[in-house]
Amino acid sequence: MNRFLDRHLPPGRERPSTLHEAMRYSTLAGGKRIRPTLCIAAAEAVGGSVDEVMHSAGALEILHTYTLIHDDLPCMDDDDLRRGMPTCHVKFGEDNAVLAGDALLTLAFEWIAETPAPSPYLPTQLVLELAQAAGNRGVIAGQVEDLAGEGSLLEKDDLQFIHIHKTAMLIRGAVRIGCIEAGGKPAELDALTRYGADIGLAFQIADDVLNATSDETTLGKPVGSDDLRGKNTYVRIHGIPKANEMANALVENAIKELDALSGDPDPLVEIARFIIARDT
Amino acid sequence: MNRFLDRHLPPGRERPSTLHEAMRYSTLAGGKRIRPTLCIAAAEAVGGSVDEVMHSAGALEILHTYTLIHDDLPCMDDDDLRRGMPTCHVKFGEDNAVLAGDALLTLAFEWIAETPAPSPYLPTQLVLELAQAAGNRGVIAGQVEDLAGEGSLLEKDDLQFIHIHKTAMLIRGAVRIGCIEAGGKPAELDALTRYGADIGLAFQIADDVLNATSDETTLGKPVGSDDLRGKNTYVRIHGIPKANEMANALVENAIKELDALSGDPDPLVEIARFIIARDT
């Protein structure tokens, strides 16, 4: 995935080089590559191959990178550190960070539309999946409510709305896109959709726990920042033991869904377990 | 077009309503609807109809609206007034303005992918046209160089790079999308591409002249702001008479391209003339 991103992102020397360097800096800064990995694993779990879905997997990663760049902006979470390095706006200026994010979002649609698809209808379907996961009824809805809720104590349902949209929608989208592109059957798509929604919510709960319990060196970003900012998190509303318990239950539910698949489910089992066991 | 936008944008009462109200506020605030009109006129100029291209035309307008919202941000042009009304970040806050822009950009790809197309290959092609016109080799390239050039005096070629990318690429994209979707022949697409590039550049030159010569009530935004900010404009580099002359020549060239078309070219002729004769 890292090789694919390096090769397909515009070269840093191409004009305007500040823009292209900013796009490359934030995308190639590391990161767990969870969404592309899920897309590939979902394709393999319904009998497809990694080659079929590389463009879509890359699109998911650069779209995710755009959300991080914009989330870190001073007018949003105002974070200076990401993956142990200065955030995009600290390094390239706020204006270039907004535009680098915009450019990565736009390029994600270009990449997914360019996927080498066996059916002419497929790229359109993938574009729609990506737009719906990322848009005003997906990731962005969660981000808006998350910011609006800062400093006030939300109800459990409202917190769940935020976490489902902010995080789970794109993770669910990643497995759906891998499954659709690899020609998964409707029953497989349904099972993977439930798997994605469950591990997506578990992922954000684990993030909340890490933000409260890890240290800055391990995590690569400030610890305890959610609390300082008055963010609504599973830790704040439910406490750490209950949050861990909920994440575990979601992962176990997700793994049960994988019985319905025709291909190799093992990587999806491993990713689900990794999501709550990770330390970064 | 206004009816289409009103019907197809998410309702303001839908959660999160701040986001949806911001998307509607900026899109429905008025505006000349130049890009959708060009898309529709290009379709008709190659024998197509308005119904075929409404989704694409709407996508072009909300994509254009996203560029305005982000351009107006404090970290970019820092404008408080747009179309005679407070800009999106003044009305809804900077965080919601960034996210409303992101959501409109994302929704533009959803709309264009949902176009009722006669061929299954068509929506993908339109997604690519839109992404390439708007992305890091299109509009965003121009915006990055425009901001980078503020306060220093650019060469003529660099100014042209900015204007072509910042403005002409999406106008060119609008006529290309209308032509492609209506099944225009390759020679028609070539002619319309040159037409779009020419009137797109003329449009930005006319904008530069208006910013220097109009008044705030007529224009709906501050006048002379380019100059105050040390922006590189055709007025600054070439002077007003020469800028007007260049815009006129581009429009006359553009109109000559229309001889190649099989449908009704008259609306495209009128739009080309309007672009340099407008007072707002």
Alpha helices in chain A (DSSP H): 2-8, 17-27, 34-45, 50-72, 88-92, 94-113, 122-134, 139-149, 156-163, 169-181, 186-213, 216-219, 225-228, 234-238, 240-257, 266-277
Which residues, 6 or more positions from B243, have their beta carbon under 8 angstroms from its beta carbon?
B205, B208, B209, B234, B235
pLDDT at B221: 76
Chain B contacts in chain A segment 39-68 (CB below 8 A):
66
Q: If you average pLDDT over residues A209-223, what whole number do you get?
A: 84
- In angstroms, rounded to a whole number, what is the distance separating the alpha carbons of residues A107 and B68? 19
- In angstroms, rounded to a whole number, what is the distance separating the alpha carbons of residues A199 and A38? 11
B188 Cα distance to chain centroid:
21
Which one has a higher pLDDT value, A229 or B190? B190
pLDDT at B184: 97
Taking only the tens place, the pLDDT of each residue in A63-117 is: 999 999 999 999 999 999 998 899 999 999 999 999 999 999 999 999 999 998 8
Confidence check: pLDDT of A220 > 90: no
ipTM of the complex as predicted: 0.97
- In angstroms, rounded to a whole number, what is the distance separating the alpha carbons of residues A36 and A108? 12
Among A12-21, A31-40, B171-180, B226-235, whose mean pLDDT is lowest? B226-235
Contact by Cβ (8 Å): B195, B210: no
Cβ-defined contact of A135 to B107 (cutoff 8 Å) = yes
pLDDT at A186: 98
- In angstroms, rounded to a whole number, what is the distance separating the alpha carbons of residues A215 and A274? 19
Chain B contacts in chain A segment 121-180 (CB below 8 A):
121, 123-124, 127-128, 130-132, 134-137, 140-141, 143-145, 147-148, 161
| Closest listed residue to residue B25, CA positions, set B79, B100, B76, B95 | B100
Contact by Cβ (8 Å): B166, B205: no
The CB density around residue B207, as the number of other CB atoms within 10 Å, is 21
**Chain A CB contacts of B20 below 8 Å:** 136
Cβ-defined contact of A15 to B132 (cutoff 8 Å) = no
Contact by Cβ (8 Å): A165, A141: yes
Angle between helix A186-213 and A169-181 (nearest 10): 150
Taking only the tens place, the pLDDT of each residue in B79-125 is: 999 988 999 999 999 999 999 999 999 999 999 999 988 889 999 99
- In angstroms, rounded to a whole number, what is the distance separating the alpha carbons of residues B221 and B84? 6
Which residues, 6 or more positions from A248, have their beta carbon under 8 angstroms from its beta carbon?
A202, A276
- In angstroms, rounded to a whole number, what is the distance separating the alpha carbons of residues A60 and A108? 7
Contact by Cβ (8 Å): A37, A167: no
Min Cα distance B55 → chain A (Å) is: 14
For chain B, the structural domain boundaries read: 2-277
Min Cα distance B196 → chain A (Å) is: 21
Contact by Cβ (8 Å): B53, B192: no
Confidence check: pLDDT of A222 > 80: no
Contact by Cβ (8 Å): B104, B21: no
- In angstroms, rounded to a whole number, what is the distance separating the alpha carbons of residues A82 and A72? 8
pLDDT at B217: 83
Task: State the architecture of A2-277 in CATH terms.
Answer: Orthogonal Bundle (1.10)
DSSP letters, A53-107, are: HHHHHHHHHHHHHHHHHHHHSTTTT--SEETTEE-HHHHH-HHHHHHHHHHHHHH
Which phi and psi (to 5°) does residue B182 adopt? -85, 5
**Chain B CB contacts of A162 below 8 Å:** none
Q: Which of B8, B121, B144, B146 to mutate to test the interface with A (most CBs of A within 10 A)?
A: B144
Cβ-defined contact of B114 to A128 (cutoff 8 Å) = yes
Exposure letters A12-22 (e unless 16+ CB within 10 A, then b): eeeebebbbbb
The pTM is what? Answer: 0.97
Assigned token pair, B2: 């206004």
At B85, which helix (H) or strand (E)? strand B85-86
The CB density around residue B278, as the number of other CB atoms within 10 Å, is 14
pLDDT at B219: 80
pLDDT at A164: 97
- In angstroms, rounded to a whole number, what is the distance separating the alpha carbons of residues B56 and B77? 28
Contact by Cβ (8 Å): B6, B30: no
pLDDT at A223: 80
Could you say which residues of chain B have pLDDT below 50?
Answer: none
Judge whether B109 is closer than 8 Å to chain A, CB to CB.
yes
Q: Nearest residue of A to residue B63 by CA position?
A: A106
Helix (H/G/I), strand (E/B), else coil: A131: helix
Q: If you average pLDDT over residues A32-51, what whole number do you get?
A: 97
Cβ-defined contact of B113 to A131 (cutoff 8 Å) = yes
